[in-house]
Structures are given as structure tokens and as C-alpha cells.
Structure 1
Amino acid sequence: MAKESKPKKQAKKVSLWTLILTGVISLLIGAGGTYAFMYRTVRDAQTVNASMAKIQAVYQTLYYNYYRKVDATKLEKDAIDGMLKALNDPFSEYMTKSEANSLNNTISGSFVGIGIEVQKDGDYIKVIAPISKTPAAKAGLKAKDVITAIDGKSIKGLALEKVIAKIRGKKGTSVTLTVKRGQTSFTKTVKRASIPVATVYGNLDAKDKTVGYLRVTTFSTNTAKEFKQEVKRLRQKGAKSFIIDVRDNPGGLMTTALQMASMFVKNGKNIMQVQGRDGQVEAYKSSKDYSKGFKITEPTVVLVNGGSASASEIFASALNESANIKLVGTTTYGKGTVQTTQEFKDGTELKLTIDKWLTANGKWINKTGIKPTIKADYPAVASLAAINTKKTYQEGQVSNQIKSLQKMLAYLGYFKGQANGYYGADTKEAVTNFQSANGLATSGQADKQTVVKLETQVATKVTEHDNAYEAGLKALGE
């Protein structure tokens, strides 16, 4: 549960291992429980030792007897990857030193990239969420998009480390991603930039200056502190209620989610629960230790969507179930597990799922997500796949790309016909009118320049008409 935002290494070990692992062990070693725990540890150690003896024997046999020279490092990594693959858990993974450093950098400091949180998805890479206001977000990448190629070359089977290295690069340079969204594939060229460290952005509503809006992009080490500062600043400017936006927030540190949820939930009430492999459940409750005595009692709503994952879901569910705060938007991602990391002497790290986490009321939302109190979303056009700009579309052609073109033109008021994917006379007329209105050559053909202009205008109109935000404002007034 530590992705786009991550504390410095020492802080990470304390916040995660101490909070999560020690808490679970304390459930096992209680009055009368010490002997049973020690017996199981010895018994399990014997089983592990027997298994490792076989693995070591196979390793030595391969290393010394295979007819060609064996790369010991690759053999070791592939063996570990094989064990993790048997877990069938995309959130448990072995990271090389450079991959671990990359993860640390993305969470604890600024870095050059495009601003997406990704995970391994079979042979390819899946987007958990783009970070707000980054090149990835501006390019229209969305949660659950699958990246299949980079700069025209397939990434099938490539390690996550290598994929991340390909996506990153020098500031100002561009990377072209081949993306699969549903059944549609398209390319997006994104310019790399410095990704900001700040994780909380706040402002007053443009019309109602008593409503404070806070956008939380990730749950990193300093997010709770940033959040507190923004709330104080908005209060000083006149905020009497708040809209908290965790849409497309891929999560981060469990500790930070607990700290922020405690600002809203009364002390002593559940924030979340954690269930270990033995089935025992431990509740995490709101307390002064988490909130440092800072409480937010003003009317509040929380905006969520399919890109709200992990720590975002802990935060949102706690406010909903323990503080009766409404959630507005669409169903969240559904990541109901907790991970921790173990660092080895060579700088590599093992990220492992160690627990389920349950909501304050004991629900496990894994793969199902959290349903909002009030459903509200961007218009359907916002979910359309980007149009392939390497092609020019013209009269007589038929394709799903043309269907998307028609829907975008209709959204802007240029196309009145049926969006069926056929580039007929009515589509040509709509394209010509759009080109004329925007100072483009009136060819009636949807070339790259026309498509880019069209998508930009659609994106601008969509963001100017945020249905979930408007629903949140309405809910505050009820």
C-alpha cells in the first residue's frame, strides 16, 4: 500500500513494519499463546528448511552442471519471481535495486516521468491511476488502461523495472505508449516532466466562497501535514464546509490514511480493520495519536471514482461508515490488501501482501470497490478511447475510431446523426464545420491536427462540467 508516494526508507520501515507486522504478531502472543506460536514457528521452519534444501539442490545442479554458463543473478531473480507468481497476487513482487530505488523516488521525492501509478498485469502493465495535473492525466490516461508497447516496441513479458525505465527519461523528451482500453487500442505520445512532490491542493469554490475544495493526489509521508495546513488556510479564507477529492488517487501509506481519517472520525470509533492469515481481526480506531488533536467537524463530502484505490478507499470508507460522510462519484477500484516491504543487503526489496484490510464495519472491498452514496460521473464521452492520430479518417470508411470521432463531435454540437462508425456525408459536414470554426483547413477529413484539436476541446468541456463536483456541492447544501 505504498505506491506513488513513499516515505524515506527508514521512516517506511517504522511506519509499515511496526504498525502492521508487530500488530499482527501481538494478536498471536497473548496470555497462554506463546507456546502455540513458538511451536508453529518451529514446525513451519522445519517444513521451510526441507523445501529450501530441494530448491538449493536444484539451484546448485543448474549452476554447476548446465551445459552453458548460467547467470546466477538472473537464476536467483527468476526463482523468486516464480515463487511470487504462485501467489497469483499482482501486489506481491520482488524488486531489483534500481526498481526499489525507483519506487522510493516516486514516493519520497520529485522525479522525471509522466505521472502514472502502474502494476504488472500478466504480460503487460496496467495503470492504477494517473496523478492529477501530470502529463499522464492531461494526456487522458485512465485507471485500468493496459500499456502494451512503448515507442512502438512490445513490452510483453518485460519486468516492471524495465518498463518503468523506458517510460522515464529526460525532462522535455516524449514517450509514445500503446494503450489498450477495453477492446480498443490506441497510442498516446506524452512529454516527460518533473512530477511534483506536493500531494494536496486546495481552493475555495469559484461561486460559493464558504466551500473549500481539497484535492489529495496520493497518501505519502507528508500528506496528512499538507492536508492539515490546507484545511487551516481555507478556514482562514472563509471555508465552512469541504469537498475532499480522492478521485484517481492510487493510495499510498496506510499510516497516512489513518492519520487523515482520524481528523474526521470521533476518537474511539473504528477507521478500519486488519485480518491476518490466522483469521484474527484487529481494529484500528480514531485517536489523538493519529490526528494530533486536529479535528474537522464541518460538513464534508468525498469524491471517489474507479481510480480511488488502497489508502484512498480506507480513508473514504472510514469517513462514510464512521462519520456518516457521503461519498459522491463512481465505485472505487477495490484493493483490499495491505503490503509491506523487506529490504535486503544488496538493495533489492520484497513487497509482500501480509493482510486483508476491512472497512470500519468489517466489509472486504477487494475487487468490488466501494459504492458511492450519490452516483455521479463525467459524461460518457470522457471514457472514450483516444483516436489514433497516425491515421486520417475520411468519407466511406468504417471503424470504431470514427464512432468515437462522431461522439466527440456530437458532444460539442457539430454532429447530429447516429454514431455508427460510418464516415458518411453528415460526418464529413460535421468535421468541415469544426475545422472552419477552429481555423483549420476545411478538408472534411479528420487528420491529426483536427483530431488533436477536437480531443482538446472535449477534455476542456468535460473538466469544466464536473458532475461529481456539482453533486457534491448539492449534497453539502441538503
Structure 2
Amino acid sequence: MATKEENETKKIAPDNEKPVKTKKKAPKRFTRFTYWFSLLCALCVGTIIGVLLILSRLQDTIATNSELSQVIGVYKNIRGNYYKSVSKKKLINGAVDGMLSSLDDPFSQYLQSDESTSLNDSISGSFEGIGAEVQQGKNAIEIVSPIKNSPAEKAGLKAKDLIVAINGKSTAKMTVDQAVSKIRGKSGSSVTLKIQRGSQTFTVKVERGKVDQATVTGQLLATDHTIGKIQITTFAENTVSGMKTTIKSLRKQGATKFIIDVRGNPGGLMDTALSLSSMFLKNKQVIMRVQARQGSEEVYRAGKKYDKGFKIDEPVTISVDGGSASAAEIFSAALQEAGRAQLVGTKTYGKGTVQTVIPLSNNSEMKFTIAKWLTPNKTWINKKGITPDIKAGYPAIANLALISNEKSLKTGSVGSEVKLLQQNLRALGYTVEETSIYDQQTIAAVKQLQIKAKLANQTGTFDEATRNALYQEVSVYILNHDNALNAAVKEIQSK
């Protein structure tokens, strides 16, 4: 209990007066008893809260241990009773991989030493393999997109192709990591892939090579030197510097407008997508939104933090297709919804999730989906894609299945492979009917192709060298009949 005390102060008086005393009311103070009692109460309350927190955590631990008892039981039984010895590492890897596989999320993966190295190589823009982004598909491994100028693209592989077998082994029960480890290898070696494209199935042998990406390339259009066409093959660590260098070079050459081509771009780093988007947007404009399971929505806006003050104000149009995914979609949606650029092409892939890599040990890590991302207008494009403003695609020949390179076609050959060859030849302007029979007309057309390509073999037999010559001509034809690019040029010229 507090007590009142009288506090005397002297009032200074003139010399002829005596000092007088005045009284003030004393402030309240605690007694020692009150002090110790309050301290004891505080300690008790703190102790109770601490005990409750410990009990809560203990409860969670007990619940977790109970839930994991089956896993622990299986582990102990295999270690102790399985008919042959199994390493601890193998069982633990299997358990981690199994948990991630149960999420039914093709982008959440358990990465061991070789796979994690492959991921790091891909991010840096350089690796050895066939150069294709893949994910878990239904009973197969699905190609998200082949990388520009990679062995995969040169072999004719396309976005949405299903790899149903690798070197004769079915991928039905393979994880993405297992498939990647079998597909990748030293430059100069080969891998045989069985591909399903729509209702057609074919086999293709791909020679692995060094995929060293200059992720951004650009040149002036031959038909209009005021337009610079820029190809972004992936969003890697070197993409931002590549974009700055390319833009500066094209400006010096006279470009005043740009077509940004992200067709076949499988995506990459979110930070790179933010930096590139910020270059084209006004400061504070929204680039994207990220929603984790818990916490508030995080909004990313254009600004010096991302673009370092480098801005691109010229008119721009973006080319997209079904192989434009992830970071390529962040970039495209940001510019489209800001009214900064129109999209030309076909609907994009539709990947609306964000992943991070979490280290688990010295030689393993977990690529893990942590959130979903939304466009500035709060649209989730996952499994839906982005619809372009102007729809235009490649010519029909681009959608044909590949002709298998496992065996040659010649007089007497019949079947779907022969018909496929005839369809390609007809589309290229050769005189041949679709009969599915390797007849004299087909032999004559193949001879014309071989002579045109100056091949050593000009007998009319469709062998590996002739196949390569055919697809080289197909590539040139598609390039010269690029409906999406033509539409993009028309759009940008109107600005």
C-alpha cells in the first residue's frame, strides 16, 4: 500500500522577509512489499505462458511422432527384416521422394547431387544435354518447351510432346529427376526417345550437345530496319544483361520499335522476369502478385530495385505460344495488362506457381512449390494460359509428327511413316500423293530433295542424312511462313 509523505521546499523571500515553508502533495510510490509481490506475479504469469507454449509444442511433437510412426515402422522393418540389406540413404531418399510425389505437383521435386547440379547449370544458362524443359505428365514425361537452337529443337521436338520411353525404357513410373538423369549426358553421345504427339507415336535419336545459351539475341528485320526483333530463349541469370546489351545495340542500328519473341521459352528465374518487366513499365506499376498459403498477398511493382534505372519506352509487341511458360508468362501478362504491349500468337502454357530450392544436405535439395502467382489484375493463369490479343500460329507442317530415324524408308516400305514423309514433301511443294506406299512418285520427290541438299546419296532412299536435310528445309519453310511473326510486324508497324 502506498503512503503520503510531506515534501518541504523553501520559497526564497526578499531580504527583509524570512523564508517560509510551503507544502506539496507527494507522488504515489510502491512499498517494497508491493514491488516484490508484483515481480512475483509477473514471473508466475511468464512461467505459466512458457509452460503452455512448451506443452503446445510438445503436443505438436507427440502428434507428429504419432503420425510418422507408420513411416518409422516401415523403415525399421525394411532395415531389420528385408531379405537383403538396404542402405539407410536409399530408404530416406525414397521416403522424401515419395512425400513430394504424393503432392501431385510436377514442379516439386527431390534433387540429389547430379540433378541439383543440372538445375544450377540450367539457371546459369549452360549445360550438356538435349536442351528441353520437362515436367511430370500423365504416365509420361512431358516437354514444356525445347530451348532455342538446342539439340532438342533441331531434332524437331516440341512443347507438349510426351516422352514415353528413353532408350527403350518406359517413363510411366519415372520421376522427372530420373528421366533428366537418363536424357542428359556428354556432348556427342546420343539418346533415343519414343515420343507421343497427339495420337501419333514416333522414335527419334537425339545427339546430346553443349547447350550454352546466349539467352537474348536480336537483329533488325530485313523488311523494316526500324523494327528490332528480340528472342528470349529462357529467363536465366545472364538474361538481364543480355537484354540491356541487345537493346542498346539495336537502338544504335536505328530500331525505334521492338518485337519480343518468347515463343518456346520455358521460363526460369522469377527475379529475372521482374527485372525485364520493370524495364518496360512505369515505376510503381504492378508486375505480379504472389500468394502463399499463409500471410498477406505480396505485390511486386516496377522500379529501380529491379531495372536499375534502365527503361525501354519504345513501342513493343510480344510473340507467345504454347511453349511460353512460367517467367515468360509473368513478363507477357505484366506488359499485356498494363496496356504496354499486345500479345500475338497462340495461348501460353499456363504455369502459375512459384518454386524455391531448399537445401536438405550437402548433396541433396528440394525444389518446392511455395506459392501461386497472379497477374496484376489478380488472374491465376495456372493450367489455363494467357490468351493473346491477336491469334496467329505456325503453318500446318509445324504440327506434323516427326519421322522416326530408327530405320530407312525405301521401295516397298508402307505405313504411317511413309505417309508422314509424303505429307511433309507435299507441304514443301514436291509432287507426291499421300498413299502410305513408298512408290515411284515418292522416290522421285526424295531424289529431288537429295539433289537440292547436295547429298552423297541421291538414290531416293530416305536415310538419316536425307531426314536431316528434310527437316532443315522444313525449318526454313516455317521461318518464311511464320504467321505469328507476320502478324506481330503488322501490329507494331501500326504504332
Shorter-chain TM-score category? 0.7 to 0.9
Shift of 1:42: 8.7
Shift of 1:53: 3.9
The reply to whether residue 470 of structure 1 matches residue 486 of structure 2 is: yes
Shift of 1:425: 6.0
- Quick one: distance in 2 between partners of 1:84 and 1:163? 16
Superimposed CA distance per residue, residues 36-59 of structure 1 (whole angstroms, 9 cap, x where no aligned partner): xx9999986664343234422332
Of the candidates 238, 242, 247, which is equivalent to residue 222 of structure 1?
238
- Relative to 1, partners in 2 of residues 1:110 and 1:451: Cα closer, same or farther, differing over 3 Å? closer
Any conservation in 2 of the 1:406–1:415 contact (CA below 8 Å)? no
Superimposed CA distance per residue, residues 330-366 of structure 1 (whole angstroms, 9 cap, x where no aligned partner): 1111111111111022321111111111111111111
Q: What SS does structure 1 have at the residue aligned with 2:80?
A: helix
Shift of 1:393: 4.0
- Matched with 1:147 is 163
- Matched with 2:254 is 238
Q: What residue ranges of structure 2 are gaps of 5+ in the alignment?
A: 1-53
Superimposed CA distance per residue, residues 247-291 of structure 1 (whole angstroms, 9 cap, x where no aligned partner): 111111111111111111222221111122248533222222112
Superimposed CA distance per residue, residues 302-348 of structure 1 (whole angstroms, 9 cap, x where no aligned partner): 11111111000000010100133111111111111111111022321
Any conservation in 2 of the 1:389–1:452 contact (CA below 8 Å)? no
Of the candidates 102, 105, 110, which is equivalent to residue 126 of structure 2?
110
More relative contact order, 1 or 2 (CA 8 Å, 6+ apart): 1
The reply to whether residue 86 of structure 1 matches residue 86 of structure 2 is: no
- Quick one: distance in 2 between partners of 1:146 and 1:323? 36
Any conservation in 2 of the 1:335–1:366 contact (CA below 8 Å)? yes
- Quick one: distance in 2 between partners of 1:416 and 1:109? 43
Any conservation in 1 of the 2:143–2:161 contact (CA below 8 Å)? yes
Instruction: Trace 1:148-227 onto structure 2 (pairs within 5 A).
Output: 148-227=164-243
Q: What SS does structure 2 have at the residue aligned with 1:212?
A: strand
Any conservation in 1 of the 2:139–2:173 contact (CA below 8 Å)? yes
- Quick one: distance in 2 between partners of 1:455 and 1:39? 69
Of the candidates 408, 412, 415, which is equivalent to residue 428 of structure 2?
412
Any conservation in 1 of the 2:289–2:378 contact (CA below 8 Å)? yes
- Quick one: distance in 2 between partners of 1:79 and 1:57? 12
Shift of 1:442: 6.4
- Matched with 2:313 is 297
- Quick one: distance in 2 between partners of 1:227 and 1:122? 36
Letter of the structure 2 residue corresponding to residue 242 of structure 1? F
- Matched with 1:30 is none
Query: What's the RMSD between the two structures over aligned residues?
Result: 2.8
- Relative to 1, partners in 2 of residues 1:397 and 1:66: Cα closer, same or farther, differing over 3 Å? closer
The reply to whether residue 259 of structure 1 matches residue 275 of structure 2 is: yes
- Relative to 1, partners in 2 of residues 1:359 and 1:420: Cα closer, same or farther, differing over 3 Å? farther
Q: Percent identity?
A: 47
Letter of the structure 2 residue corresponding to residue 400 of structure 1? S
Any conservation in 1 of the 2:235–2:328 contact (CA below 8 Å)? yes
- Quick one: distance in 1 between partners of 2:285 and 2:450? 58
Larger Rg: 2
- Matched with 1:370 is 386
Q: What SS does structure 2 have at the residue aligned with 1:210?
A: strand
Q: What SS does structure 1 have at the residue aligned with 2:224?
A: coil
The reply to whether residue 288 of structure 1 matches residue 307 of structure 2 is: no
Letter of the structure 2 residue corresponding to residue 307 of structure 1? G
Letter of the structure 1 residue corresponding to residue 189 of structure 2? T
- Matched with 1:461 is 477
- Matched with 2:367 is 351
- Quick one: distance in 1 between partners of 2:100 and 2:366? 10
Any conservation in 2 of the 1:97–1:347 contact (CA below 8 Å)? yes
- Quick one: distance in 2 between partners of 1:287 and 1:306? 30
The reply to whether residue 71 of structure 1 matches residue 94 of structure 2 is: no
- Matched with 2:66 is 50
TM-score of the aligned structures, taking structure 1 as reference length: 0.84
After TM superposition, the structure 1 stretch with the greater mean CA deviation from structure 2, 363-372 or 40-49, is 40-49
Shift of 1:94: 0.9
- Quick one: distance in 2 between partners of 1:306 and 1:396? 38
Shift of 1:187: 2.3
Q: What residue ranges of structure 1 are gaps of 5+ in the alignment?
A: 1-37
The reply to whether residue 275 of structure 1 matches residue 291 of structure 2 is: yes
- Matched with 1:310 is 326
Shift of 1:444: 5.4
- Matched with 1:130 is 146
Aligned residues: 441
